[in-house]
Amino acid sequence: MSKAKPIGPIPSGYRSLGGELAIGGVKASALVAEHGSPLFVYSGALLDTRLADLRGAMPAQLQIHYAMKANPYAPVLEHMVDLVDGIDIASGGELVMALAAEAKAERISFAGPGKRDEELRSAIQAGVTINIESPSECDRALSIGAETGLQARLAVRVNPDFDLKGSGMKMGGGAKQFGMDVDLVAATVKKILASGAHWRGFHIFAGSQALKAEAIIETQAQTISLAAKLAEQVGQSPEHVNLGGGFGIPYFPNDEAVDVVEIGRALNRQLSDLPEILSGTQFALELGRYLVGEAGVYLTQIVDRKESQGETFLITDGGLHHQLAASGNFGTVIRRNYPAAIATQYDKPSDEVVSIVGCLCTPLDLLSDRAAMPAADVGDIVAIFCAGAYGATASPANFLGQGPAKEILIHGAG
Ligand SMILES: *Cc1c(COP(=O)(O)O)cnc(C)c1O
């Protein structure tokens, strides 16, 4: 047991039933018996709890948007549409999915670099807000708006002149393909206003996967003052300011959950003491992984167990083609173990060190590296947690002809 590597913390809200991991009150073995393996299971009850807790912590007037790229699975998306105030999309494909999930067009906003003319056209026709990422994209949107005879709803995405400290993925503060530099914003907004299009406001997104409340609070304060400064330059109050998000979830050993109560308190103070020009502005947070990441579990069955040079490998029927992020190949510098468990031996103490691997012919296909686990064998089921965001949707399902895993949304509690 001495050479075990630590695993990330198992998210709260998961219980055991008859010695097994249960999701939504159903045992892992029953889920796999009914739906097959590998399987993504998302818990509606955990999604509800997450939203309710977050709303409880945040100022009442703050909107919460869901960045659907984290998990676009239709039943999850439909569930989220009912829980949040807005859906943030990043492609024409996501627009189709959001509308199919009955998100209202006036609650959808469309960000992302490289929007094609067809995507701009369908967004304007649907009546969604487009977060304009460059002066030339603005020109294209305005001329498509004029062609269609519809009033385009346009916000300007700003590349902030600061970043979110401690974020896993920086999306501001330096040369970036996202948004436009601060010095280009006022002229672009003035052009939108002069054209007769509907100027919705600003979108300022500084980074992702931050766990430190202090850093998020500082970024939110900087974002609000930047929005005020830009509004002064424009000479008009924005209806809406999207403050970005960046709330992370604990994936790895020593990661700690973000303190949303502290962030909510600070935001309350900031929103009750706004610069005059923002006093009538509606603010929103856009969150992806924080809302859905911990509500999902990837279940995969062990098909072989073998020893090699003194090490034990549990070989599963899943792998990085479904859970690329857990293998460490989706934007991490150093590979560390996601939270994982033997779902069918959930209550047993860990008494051996095993590497849990997928079925792909590549050494990259590592789900858990030398982790301490209870003894498990062929037929047991492995659970990889934090699979609700950037799991199925961000993995190369066609690699090696494997195909996608089944996904289900389960509604039971516990
Ligand atoms: C990806 C993305 C998000 C969601 O990021 P998370 O880390 O999942 O919260 C939010 N806003 C924008 C603009 C994004 O590109």
Give the model confidence (pLDDT) of 323-356 as tens digits.
999 999 998 778 999 999 999 999 999 999 999 9
pLDDT of residue 303: 98
Is the Cβ atom of 205 under 6 angstroms away from ligand 1? yes
Is the alpha carbon torsion for 348, 351, 353, 354 positive or negative?
Answer: negative
Stretch 301-308: mean pLDDT? 98
Q: How far apart are the first and last CA of the chain?
A: 32
- Chain centroid to Cα 111, Å, comes to 14
Instruction: Report the percent of the chain where pLDDT is more than 90.
Output: 95
d(CA 111, CA 204): 11
d(CA 296, CA 343): 14
Is the Cβ atom of 286 under 6 angstroms away from ligand 1? yes
Residue with tokens 């009546």: 127
CB atoms within 10 A of CB 205: 26
- Closest Cα to atom 7 of ligand 1: 208
pLDDT of residue 145: 97
Give the model confidence (pLDDT) of 309-320 as tens digits.
999 999 999 999
Give the model confidence (pLDDT) of 100-151 as tens digits.
999 999 999 999 999 999 999 999 999 999 999 999 999 999 999 999 999 9
Give the model confidence (pLDDT) of 63-103 as tens digits.
999 999 999 999 999 999 999 999 999 999 999 999 999 99
Ligand 1 midpoint to CA 382 (Å):
28
Is the Cβ atom of 91 under 6 angstroms away from ligand 1? no
Q: In one letter, which amino acid is 246?
A: G
Tokens encoding 30? 């029953």
Ligand 1 midpoint to CA 239 (Å):
22
d(CA 326, CA 308): 23
Is the Cβ atom of 70 under 6 angstroms away from ligand 1? yes
pLDDT of residue 195: 98
Residue with tokens 């970024």: 219
Ligand 1 midpoint to CA 67 (Å):
6
The upper half-sphere exposure of residue 148, i.e. CA atoms within 13 Å in the direction of its Cβ, equals 20
| Cβ–Cβ under 8 Å, residues 169 and 209 | yes
- Closest Cα to atom 2 of ligand 1: 67
Confidence of residue 1 (pLDDT cuts 50, 70, 90): low
Give the model confidence (pLDDT) of 265-284 as tens digits.
999 999 999 999 999 999 99
Residue 196 DSSP code: T
Please check the confidence at residue 169 and state whether its pLDDT lies above 90: no
d(CA 44, CA 38): 19
Stretch 389-399: mean pLDDT? 97
Closest CA to 242 of 124, 129, 139, 388: 129
- Chain centroid to Cα 91, Å, comes to 15
d(CA 96, CA 263): 33
Is the Cβ atom of 250 under 6 angstroms away from ligand 1? no
Please check the confidence at residue 2 and state whether its pLDDT lies above 70: no
Is the Cβ atom of 131 under 6 angstroms away from ligand 1? no
Please check the confidence at residue 167 and state whether its pLDDT lies above 90: no
